[in-house]
Structure 1
Amino acid sequence: MPRTADYTIQGFLYQFNKTLLAILQGADTAVVTVEGIIEDIEVVTGGLTEAIQCKYHETNLAFTYSALYKPLLQMMQHFHRNPGGKVTYVLFAHFPGLDQDGITVSKQVLLDALASKDKKYAAYIKDVKGLIDLDAFLLKLKPPVGPSYDALVLEVQASLQAAGIAKTEIETLVYPNAIQAIASLSIRHQVAARKITKRKLLDDLETIKTTAISHWTLGLKNRQAILTARRKQLKANLTKNARLRYFLVDAGSLPTFCISATKEQLSDIKLRLHQKGTTAHNGYVEGHFDEALFHREPLVRKAQDGTLQREFSLRLLRWQDHAPLLDAHKPADLFVLGDAVHSTLNTKDVNIEVLASSSFDEIKFILGIKNACD
C-alpha cells in the first residue's frame, strides 16, 4: 500500500479513535454524533454541545499555524452564525514533533487566518471578517490537544478496560469491533442514524463474539493478530463438513476468484478451473438456466483405479443474474469476501462471515487453507 494511502487511512482511524474516546469518557447518557452537522464529532450533554474537529498530520516536517486556518475559520463561521449557541469548539490536532502544549491559538492567529489570501478560505473569511467577536470566540475554543496515533489507541483501549471489558478481549475483539462500529455509523446518510451513547455502544460490543474484518480493522497496526483471531473463531464451524456454505465474492477485491462478476469473467473462471482439473457446474443448458439442474447433486462414478469421481466439484453462480436463488436454499454459513454487497439477501438464521480483505492470501489464511500470510 502506498505511504499516502497509509496516512489517509490513519487519518480516518485517528478520528474514529477520538470518537471512541469521546464516547467512552463521556456520561452514559451523552449523545455523540459521528460526522455531525457542526464538526467531525459532536457530544451533547445536558443541552451543551462539544464540537470536535480532528486533524491528523503525520507527514508535515514542520508545524505552521496556516495548517489550522481552515478548521479555525469553519469554527468561527459557525460561531458567528449561531451567536446564542451553547457550543464549545475543540480542535483535536496532531503534528509530529510537537507535544500537547506546543500549540497556542491566540487572537493574532485568528487575525492571520482572516487575512489569508488563499482562495480556498475566501468564503469563510467573507462571512465573518470584521463581524465576529474574536475575544468571545476564543472563550469558546479549547486549545488544540492531539496525542500521537499510538498514544490515542492506548488511551482508547484503557478506557474500554475502565468500562469493565476484560483486557484479554480488547486488542483483537472489542477494540477492532468498536472501530468498525464507528466507521459504520460515519457512512449513514441521516444525522439521527449517526447518533450513539456510551451505554448503547458497550451493549452492542458485548453481544459481538467475532472480530470484524474490514479495510478499517485491517488498517490497524495489529493486523496479523486480528487475522489470527478471526481464523481461530472460524475454525469450529469450518471443521463441520455437513454445513451448507455459500461464498459471495466481489470481483473487484479478489480478481483471481470471481462470482460477483461479468459473464465473461465467470466463463473465464470456469475454463481455468477446468484446465486445473476442477469441474464447475452452473445449471445452464444451451444458454438457458435450469434451477432444478443447478441444485441437483453431482453424479458419482467409479474410475478404473477404483476411486470415486464426482461429476462436478462446485457450483458457480453469477450474483447479478441469480442472487434470489440463495434465498430459496439458505445456507448455514454465508462468507462474504471482499466488498461484495449482500444486503438484498434474507439472512435470517444464517451465519454471516464478512471477510473484507483484498488479499487472497489473507482470505486463505483466515479460512485455514494456508498456515501463514505471505
Structure 2
Amino acid sequence: MGRSADYTIQGFLYQFNQTLAELLKAADDAEITIEGIVEDIEVATFSGTKAIQCKYHETKDKYTPSILYDPLLQMMKHFKSNPMAKISYHLYAHFPNAPAVVISATDLNSALNSKNKDLQALIAEACGVNVNGFLKVFSITITPKYDDLMEENTKLLENLGFNKSEVETLFYPNAIQIIADLSIKHDEKLRKITKKDFLDVLRRIRHTAISQWTLALKTRQKVVESRRKQLRENLSANVRLRFLVIFPEFLERFDDEIVLFIKSFIDKYHYKQAHTHTPLFALDVSQDSFDEIAERLIGKDVIPNLGRPVKAFSEVSFFREPMVSKDKKEFSLRLIRWDDYKNLQLKNKADDFFVIGAGDIATLDLKDINLETLGAENFDEIKYMLGVSNAY
C-alpha cells in the first residue's frame, strides 16, 4: 500500500474515530447519523441537529484557510437551503502545526470568491448565503492527532464498563467496524443509531471483525492475534463441516497463492481418518480460472470433487462421500464456483462458514451457522488466523 493510500485510509479512520467519540460522549437517546446531511456525522437531540464534518491533514506542514474551503462551502450551502432549521455546524479538523484556528467572515467570503475550478459548483450553490448568520451557528475544533483520538476512545469504552483487557482487540475494532458498515448504507434512515443501541450491539459481539478498516488500525498485530485465538476452538475439532468461500478481488497474489492455501488447509484440517466431514471451497472466479486451479490442485495430489463426473454438474456426485482406502481418501475437498454454489439446494448446512476476502453473501441462508468473516488482503495473515501457519 502506497503512502497516499495510507493517508486516505487514515483519513477515513480519523472520521470513524471522531464519530465514535461523538457516540460515546452523547446522551443515551441522542440519534447519530453516520455520513449525514453534510457528509460526515450528524447528531440529533431534542435541542436541534449538530452537523459535523471531519478533516484530517497530517501531511500539511502549514495551515491556510483555503484547505477548509470545501467543507465550509458545503456547510454554507446547507445553511442557505435550510434557513429555519435548528442546525449547528461544527468542523473537526487536525493540522500538525496549528493548535488553534479561527474562521472569520473574511475567510468565508474568500471561500465564496475562490477561483479553484473544483469548487465552482459548490460556490454557485452557496452564493448569497448570510455569512454572519452562518457564523453564529458555526464552530471549529482542532482535534488531537489520530493516535491520541484512538487512545481517548479506548478509555471512553473502558469508562462505559467494557472489559479493559478486551477493549483493544475486541470492542474498539468492532466499534470502528460498526461505524464503517453504517457509513456505506445508501438509505439515510439505515445510517441512524442511538448511543444505547450502539452499545447494546457492541456488547453482544464476541468475535473481532477483520476488514480493511480493522487491519489498518494501529493495533493490527493484536487484532490478528486475537482473531486466531477466537478461531482456535472450533478449528481444533475433528468432526466439523467447514465451507470456505473466497473472493479474490482484493486478495494479494491470489493466483499464486490459492492452490498453496487450499493444500495447507487440507494438510492441517482434513488428513486424519477422524476428519470425516469433507470441506467445501467456493471460489468467485471464472470457469477457465476455476478449471486451471483444479488442475493445479491435482498436480499437488490434492484431489477435488468438482461434481462433474464428465461435463454436466451433478449435485448427487458433488455431495457423495469419498471412497476411503486404508490410508487415502478418494478426494480431499469439494470445489465449486461461487456462482454455482449460490444455486445449490443444500441438505446439510455447514458448521462453520468462512468468508475470505470481500464479497456479498447477503442472499445466503446462514441461520444456525457459525459465520467467520476474514476480510484480510493477504494469505499469510489468513493462514495465520486459521492456524495453518505459525507466522506471517
In the other structure, the counterpart of 1:314 is 333
In the other structure, the counterpart of 1:114 is 112
Report the Cα offset of residue 339 of structure 1.
1.1
In structure 2, what residue type is equivalent to 1:142? S
In the other structure, the counterpart of 2:245 is 248
Q: How does 1:214-253 map to 2 (within 5 A)?
A: 214-253=211-250
Is contact 1:324–1:345 with CA below 8 Å preserved after alignment? no
In the other structure, the counterpart of 2:303 is 279
1:212 aligns with 2:232: no
In structure 2, what residue type is equivalent to 1:166? N
Is contact 2:62–2:98 with CA below 8 Å preserved after alignment? no
| DSSP-derived class of the 1:362 partner | helix
In 1, the alpha carbon distance for the partners of 2:218 and 2:182 equals 22
Deviations 1:278-302 (A, max 9, x none): 1111110221111111111111224
Q: Which stretches of structure 1, 4 residues or longer, exceed 6 Å deviation after superposition? A: none
Report the Cα offset of residue 33 of structure 1.
0.2
In 1, the alpha carbon distance for the partners of 2:164 and 2:341 equals 45
Report the Cα offset of residue 18 of structure 1.
0.7
| DSSP-derived class of the 2:325 partner | strand
Is contact 2:183–2:191 with CA below 8 Å preserved after alignment? yes
In 2, the alpha carbon distance for the partners of 1:57 and 1:345 equals 41
Counterpart selection for 1:332 from 346, 351, 363: 351
Q: How does 1:14-25 map to 2 (within 5 A)?
A: 14-25=14-25
In the other structure, the counterpart of 1:192 is 189
In 1, the alpha carbon distance for the partners of 2:46 and 2:377 equals 44
In the other structure, the counterpart of 1:305 is none
In the other structure, the counterpart of 1:98 is 98
In 1, the alpha carbon distance for the partners of 2:169 and 2:226 equals 6
Inter-CA distance 326–357: structure 2 relative to 1 (3 Å threshold): farther
1:268 aligns with 2:272: no
In 2, the alpha carbon distance for the partners of 1:253 and 1:149 equals 26
In 2, the alpha carbon distance for the partners of 1:83 and 1:315 equals 62
Report the Cα offset of residue 47 of structure 1.
4.0
Is contact 1:327–1:345 with CA below 8 Å preserved after alignment? no
In the other structure, the counterpart of 1:67 is 67
| DSSP-derived class of the 2:142 partner | coil
In the other structure, the counterpart of 2:51 is 51
| DSSP-derived class of the 1:310 partner | coil
Inter-CA distance 194–317: structure 2 relative to 1 (3 Å threshold): same
In structure 1, what residue type is equivalent to 2:58? E
In 2, the alpha carbon distance for the partners of 1:266 and 1:326 equals 21
Q: Percent identity?
A: 47
In structure 1, what residue type is equivalent to 2:18? K
Is contact 1:327–1:346 with CA below 8 Å preserved after alignment? no
In structure 2, what residue type is equivalent to 1:72? L
Gaps in structure 2 of 5+ consecutive residues = 259-281
In 2, the alpha carbon distance for the partners of 1:236 and 1:339 equals 24
Report the Cα offset of residue 235 of structure 1.
0.4
Q: TM-score, normalised by structure 1?
A: 0.94
Is contact 1:248–1:340 with CA below 8 Å preserved after alignment? no
Q: How does 1:17-36 map to 2 (within 5 A)?
A: 17-36=17-36
More divergent stretch after superposition (275-284 vs 357-366): 275-284
Is contact 2:95–2:142 with CA below 8 Å preserved after alignment? no
Is contact 1:280–1:314 with CA below 8 Å preserved after alignment? yes
| DSSP-derived class of the 2:120 partner | helix
In structure 1, what residue type is equivalent to 2:293? I
Inter-CA distance 180–328: structure 2 relative to 1 (3 Å threshold): same
| DSSP-derived class of the 1:144 partner | strand
Counterpart selection for 2:163 from 162, 166, 170: 166
Is contact 1:238–1:367 with CA below 8 Å preserved after alignment? yes
1:361 aligns with 2:345: no
Is contact 1:32–1:197 with CA below 8 Å preserved after alignment? yes
Deviations 1:105-133 (A, max 9, x none): 1121112112211122223333344x332
Is contact 2:93–2:140 with CA below 8 Å preserved after alignment? no
In the other structure, the counterpart of 1:132 is 129
In 2, the alpha carbon distance for the partners of 1:91 and 1:26 equals 17
1:298 aligns with 2:311: no
In 2, the alpha carbon distance for the partners of 1:31 and 1:117 equals 38
Report the Cα offset of residue 192 of structure 1.
0.5
Report the Cα offset of residue 217 of structure 1.
0.6
Report the Cα offset of residue 253 of structure 1.
3.4
Q: TM-score, normalised by structure 2?
A: 0.90
Deviations 1:150-172 (A, max 9, x none): 11111111111121112111100
Count of paired positions = 365
RMSD: 1.4
Is contact 1:50–1:89 with CA below 8 Å preserved after alignment? yes
In the other structure, the counterpart of 1:323 is 342
In the other structure, the counterpart of 2:267 is none
1:123 aligns with 2:85: no
